[in-house]
Structure 1
Amino acid sequence: MLAGKSHRQIAIDLFGLDTVKADWYDSSRIRSLVRRRIEKSKHLMNGGYRDLVISGD
């Protein structure tokens, strides 16, 4: 999903254009959520998925 997309483009993919238009500003909850999801995704891609397999969560 990251594939060179901007954070805003990823937010639109996840939440839809109308939601992003209404709630996309510097300190918005949706921007914070997108940043956290991107960081979590990068962690999983870089081997963090193994923690899920080992712990069984």
Structure 2
Amino acid sequence: MGSEKEIAIIPKGTSVRIMGCAYTLLEDVKVDGNQRILNETLKAQSEFEGKPKTSGTSGKWMA
């Protein structure tokens, strides 16, 4: 294990906020993080907002 970083992908079309400013991703974005946790977070946010969210490339949630 050691020093390898996990890479997660935030799908194209995802809305993000940085310092209170809203942005929509125009491309899939690689980030340092756990994909499973990211997927669960995106799903929960989508359900909270009442709209389905899919990945930018496959049309389905990434596993």
Question: Higher RCO, 1 or 2 (CA under 8 Å, sep at least 6)?
Answer: 2
Rg larger in 1 or in 2?
1
TM-score in terms of structure 1 length: 0.37
Q: Which has the higher strand share?
A: 2
Higher helix share: 1
